[in-house]
Amino acid sequence: NYILNCFAIPKWGYVAAAYTTLIGFLWLLAVHMFLVWRIGLHQVYSYRFVCLLAAVLGAVTAGVNCLYMNDGIRWLFTAGYLLVLAGLAYRKREQIREMIGMARKKG
């Protein structure tokens, strides 16, 4: 990330820092997934889910970036996203309660 910033920021400005950070985090994700597979813990993660989630979040980010100048559509998009998250949280509420309970016991 630092090396990419040294080259990209002088040429493209501060926006380049966001993109170099994205590249750095994607690289870390790829290395992490490889190492998890290499040490034999790949049953813990669903690689299909991780890749699907990364693709969906990439599409959402690209959509938000394209709609940045249109406030009305951007707020509708954000409201829809929050409704989907609320629906997922409601659907998984028992698992969330269990995880909170386990975290309280450890703390």
40 has a pLDDT exceeding 80: no
pLDDT at position 105 is 85
C-alpha 57, offset from chain centre: 6
Per residue in 69-96, pLDDT (tens digit) is 888 887 888 899 899 999 999 999 999 9
Rounded distance between C-alpha atoms, residue 55 and residue 59, angstroms: 6
Neighbouring residues of 20: CB distance < 8 A, sequence distance ≥ 6 = 1, 4, 5, 8
Record the pTM. 0.53
Query: What average pLDDT does range 14-19 have in this prediction?
Result: 86
Neighbouring residues of 60: CB distance < 8 A, sequence distance ≥ 6 = 81
pLDDT at position 85 is 94
42 has a pLDDT exceeding 80: no
pLDDT at position 75 is 86
